[in-house]
Amino acid sequence: MKFLNEKLWFPDISEASEEGILAIGGDLSVARLLLAYRSGIFPWFENDEPILWWAPDPRFVLFPKKLKVSKSMKTILRKGNFKVTVNKAFKAVIAACAVAKRNGQNGTWITNSMISAFTKLHDLGYATSIEVWKDEILVGGLYGIDLGNGVFTGESMFSKVSNASKVGFITFIQNTSYRLVDCQVHTSHLESLGAEEVSRTDFMGFLKG
């Protein structure tokens, strides 16, 4: 595990710990974040921690063609009670993700510094938000990184009403041309939608693809 300073670099991802931590420190500048995501690395830390950079093995991903949509979700989608948009309310989505309650987490890894950094990425066209509306009210959504290489890196999602984030995620995936969606680490929620583990080596092949 390496300690970073102001120099813009990362160690080779093969040096990550068994848990997936590659480096500590550095900053959340646009240049460093773009270098990280292009190198298969992402930041993940809580308020009381230094910046932690991750490159886990295996990697959790979703191939859009393998997306699983349950019968109940197909029914919900057909009813059309939700409206899904893209990049209409990025700041509102990331703010809602930051305060969303999650099992096993007391705080949030979407700190004020992360919100500021990802908002800058959005302003430059590298971060995307998907919004889910019901009766003109934002009830769910997700956001992630798009480097223009056919891979979308999902960062976080939220729901204020049942199934809202699923509607947003499924609609987004069904209407996208991405080769791969990087889900980073395993969650049972995304596994139910078809996400699976691949080796870090295979993931880097897709990322550089």
In this predicted structure, the answer to whether residue 53 has a pLDDT above a threshold of 80 is: yes
In this predicted structure, the answer to whether residue 108 has a pLDDT above a threshold of 80 is: no
User: Is the pLDDT higher at 107 or at 188?
Assistant: 188
CA 111, chain centre distance (Å): 15
Give the strands of the sheet with 21-25, arranged side by side. Answer: 2-4, 21-25, 52-54, 42-43
Residue 129 near residue 87, CB atoms below 8 Å? yes
Give the residue-averaged pLDDT of 184-191.
94
Neighbours of 50 (CB within 10 A): 10
SS3 203: helix
88-100 pLDDT, tens digit each? 999 999 999 999 8
* Number of continuous H segments (helices) and E segments (strands) in the chain: 7, 11
In this predicted structure, the answer to whether residue 104 has a pLDDT above a threshold of 60 is: no
What percentage of residues in the chain have a pLDDT greater than 70?
A: 97
Is the whole-model pTM more than 0.75? yes
Q: Is the peptide bond before 43 cis (omega within 30 degrees of 0)?
A: no
User: Is the pLDDT higher at 116 or at 46?
Assistant: 116
User: Is the pLDDT higher at 86 or at 101?
Assistant: 86
Q: Of how many residues is the chain composed?
A: 209
> 138 phi and psi, to 5 degrees?
-75, 115
